Structure 1
Amino acid sequence: MALTLYTLLIGATFLTAGTVKGAIGLGLPTVAMGMLGVVMPPAQAAALLIIPSLVTNIWQLFSGPHWARLCRRLWPMLLAVCLGTWYGTGVMAGPMAGWTSLMLGILLMVYALVSLVNRQARVSAAAEKWLGPLAGLVTGLMTGATGVFVIPAVPWLNALALERDDLIQALGLSFTVSTLALAASLAWHDLLTFSALGLSLLAVIPALAGMFFGGYLRARLSHRVFRRCFFLGLLGLGMEITWQHLA
C-alpha cells in the first residue's frame, strides 16, 4: 500500500511538472524538487528527476536550428555550471545535507518572486564575457546543493536579449548540461542508485504526458495568467518547505 502511494505520488508529481514545462517552457525540475522535497530528502528527489529532465530538455534543445551557435556562445557559462555542480553536490552529500531542504525552499521563493516582478535586465556584450561564467558557477552550486537549476540561469539567459525561439533553445541547452552534470555528480557521491534510475525512467511517461497536456493548455489559456498562478504556487511551496525546516 505504501509503495503504491509512493509510486502514485511520483507519477502525479511528474505529470504536474511536465504540464508546467509544456505550458511555459521551463519548471519541470523546480516543480518536481519542490513537491518531492516535502516528503523525501533533496538528494533522493534529485535522483528521480534525472531521466525525465534529460529527455524533456533534449527535446527542447533540438526544437530549433540554432543549438550549435548557442553552444559556441554559451560554453563558458556551461563549463562553469559543470564545475559548480561538482562542488555543490558535496553539500547535498556532506554533513550539511540537512540544510539543503532549507536552501531549496529559499531558492523556490527567490525564483518565484523574481519571476513575478518580471523586471527585464539587459547585459552588454563586454559584460557577458565575465558575467556568464559567474552566472554559470552560481547556477552549478545551486544545482548541486538543491537539484534546482533555474537561479540565476533563467534570469541570466533572459538578460541576453535572445529571440524567443533562441531563448527556448538556450534554456534547453542550459538545463540539459545541468542535468548531465548533476547526474555525474550524484553518481560520484554514491547518491544515484539503480533503483532510483528505474523509477526515474518510469517517471518519463507522466512527464511526457504532462508536456503534451501543457502544450494543449498553452494554446488555450492566457500565458500571463497561467504563468502568474504557477509562480504564486511555487512561492507557496517554497514557504511550506522553509517552514517545515524551521519549525
Structure 2
Amino acid sequence: MTDMLGGLAPATFALALAITLFAGFVKGAVGFAMPLIMVSAFSAFLPPQMAVAGLILPTLVTNLSQAFRQGIPAAVETSMTYRRFLIGTVVFILVSAPLVTVIPKETFLLTLGLPITAFAALQLAGVPLALPIHHRTRAEWGLGILGGLYGGISGIWGPPLLVYLLSIRAPKTEAVRAQGVVFLIGAVALLIAHLRTGVANVHSLAFSAALVVPAVIGLALGYRLQDRLDPERFRRWTQVLLVLTGLNLVRQAITG
C-alpha cells in the first residue's frame, strides 16, 4: 500500500489521482497534454524522478487506446507516414534518459516552456508559422530528435510533434492518431530507458499503476468532447492549451 501511494499521505495521493483524471480528460478531448499536465502539477509536491515515473504507465495505456482507435491498419499507416519522427524520438529518448538525475530542473523547464509558449501564442495571434513543404523531412527529423531529448529527461515529448502537426495542418483525426502512435512508441522507449536508469522501479511503478484507472476514465470522458469538436476549434484549443502549459513551465522555472 505504501508503494502504491508513492510514499505520499492519502490526501496528497488523492490529489495525484485527481490531476491524472483531469489530464486524461484533456488528452481524450484534444489528443495530447497528459504528460505536460501531470509533470507540471506533480512537480509541486513530488521529486522529479517520481513525477516522471508516475506518468509512464498511464501514458502507455491511454496511448494504446488513442493509437488504435481507428484500427490496426490506420495505426500502421500512420507509423510509416511519421516514421522519421518516431525514429528520432525513440533513439533520443534512450540517449537522454540517463541525464534525468543530472540536468538542473529549472533550466530544463525554461528551455521547454519558452519555445512552446512562443509558438502557440504566435499561432493564436494569426502569425503564419507553417513549415515550408520542401523542409518537411528535415523538420520531421529535427523535431523528432528534439522531442526525444526532452522526453527521456522529463517524460514530455509531445510539444515538438504538436508543432509539426500544426505546421503541416494535419486533419484532426490524423493528428490525434499520429499523437497516439508517437506517444505510445515513445512511452515504451521511456519505460525501457528508465528501467535501466532505475527511475522506473517496483516502488515508482506501483504508484504509476495506481494512476492508470483515473487516466482511462478521464480519457473516455474526453473522447466524448473530441468527437463533437470541429477541426478549426480543435486546432485553436490545441494552441490555447500549449500557451497555458508553456507558461506554467516557465513559471515553475522562475519560481523554482
Superposition TM-score, scaled by structure 2 size: 0.83
Q: Matched residue of 1:151: which SS?
A: helix
Tell whether 2:92 aligns with 1:84. Answer: yes
For residues 88-115 of structure 1, give each alpha carbon's deviation from its aligned partner in whole angstroms, at most 9, with x where no partner exists: 112213x33xx13431254234324422
Q: Would you say the 8 A contact 1:17–1:207 is kept in 2?
A: yes
Aligned residues: 241
| Gap runs ≥5 in structure 1 | none
The AA in structure 2 aligned to 1:70 is T
Q: Would you say the 8 A contact 1:104–1:146 is kept in 2?
A: no
Out of 10, 35, 44, the position equivalent to 2:41 is: 35
The AA in structure 1 aligned to 2:23 is A
Tell whether 2:116 aligns with 1:111. Answer: yes
Aligned pairs for 1:97-246 (under 5 A) are 99-118=104-123, 119-124=128-133, 126-218=134-226, 219=228, 230-245=241-256
Q: Would you say the 8 A contact 2:105–2:253 is kept in 1?
A: no
The AA in structure 2 aligned to 1:183 is L
User: Take 1:166 and 1:7, find their aligned partners in 2: how far apart are those partners?
Assistant: 35
The AA in structure 2 aligned to 1:141 is L
| Residues 109 and 34 (structure 1), Cα distance of their counterparts in 2 relative to 1, 3 Å cut | farther
Shift of residue 148, structure 1, vs aligned partner: 1.0
Q: Would you say the 8 A contact 2:116–2:243 is kept in 1?
A: no
For residues 121-144 of structure 1, give each alpha carbon's deviation from its aligned partner in whole angstroms, at most 9, with x where no partner exists: 1442x5333332222111100111
| Residues 226 and 130 (structure 1), Cα distance of their counterparts in 2 relative to 1, 3 Å cut | closer
Q: Matched residue of 1:158: which SS?
A: helix
| Gap runs ≥5 in structure 2 | 1-6
Shift of residue 85, structure 1, vs aligned partner: 0.8
Q: Would you say the 8 A contact 2:30–2:176 is kept in 1?
A: no
Q: Would you say the 8 A contact 2:25–2:220 is kept in 1?
A: yes
Moved more, 168-177 or 115-124: 115-124
For residues 175-219 of structure 1, give each alpha carbon's deviation from its aligned partner in whole angstroms, at most 9, with x where no partner exists: 112211111111111111112111111111111222233344554
2:18 matched residue in structure 1: 12
| Residues 207 and 108 (structure 1), Cα distance of their counterparts in 2 relative to 1, 3 Å cut | farther
Q: Would you say the 8 A contact 1:157–1:171 is kept in 2?
A: no
2:59 matched residue in structure 1: 53
User: Take 1:82 and 1:230, find their aligned partners in 2: how far apart are those partners?
Assistant: 25
Q: Matched residue of 2:9: which SS?
A: helix
Q: Matched residue of 1:148: which SS?
A: coil
| Residues 74 and 225 (structure 1), Cα distance of their counterparts in 2 relative to 1, 3 Å cut | closer
For residues 47-102 of structure 1, give each alpha carbon's deviation from its aligned partner in whole angstroms, at most 9, with x where no partner exists: 11011111111111112242111222222221111111112112213x33xx1343
Q: Matched residue of 1:192: which SS?
A: coil
For residues 124-177 of structure 1, give each alpha carbon's deviation from its aligned partner in whole angstroms, at most 9, with x where no partner exists: 2x5333332222111100111222112312111333343321121111111112
The AA in structure 1 aligned to 2:93 is T
The AA in structure 1 aligned to 2:137 is K
The AA in structure 2 aligned to 1:240 is R
1:70 matched residue in structure 2: 78
User: Take 1:156 and 1:225, find their aligned partners in 2: how far apart are those partners?
Assistant: 15
Shift of residue 16, structure 1, vs aligned partner: 1.5
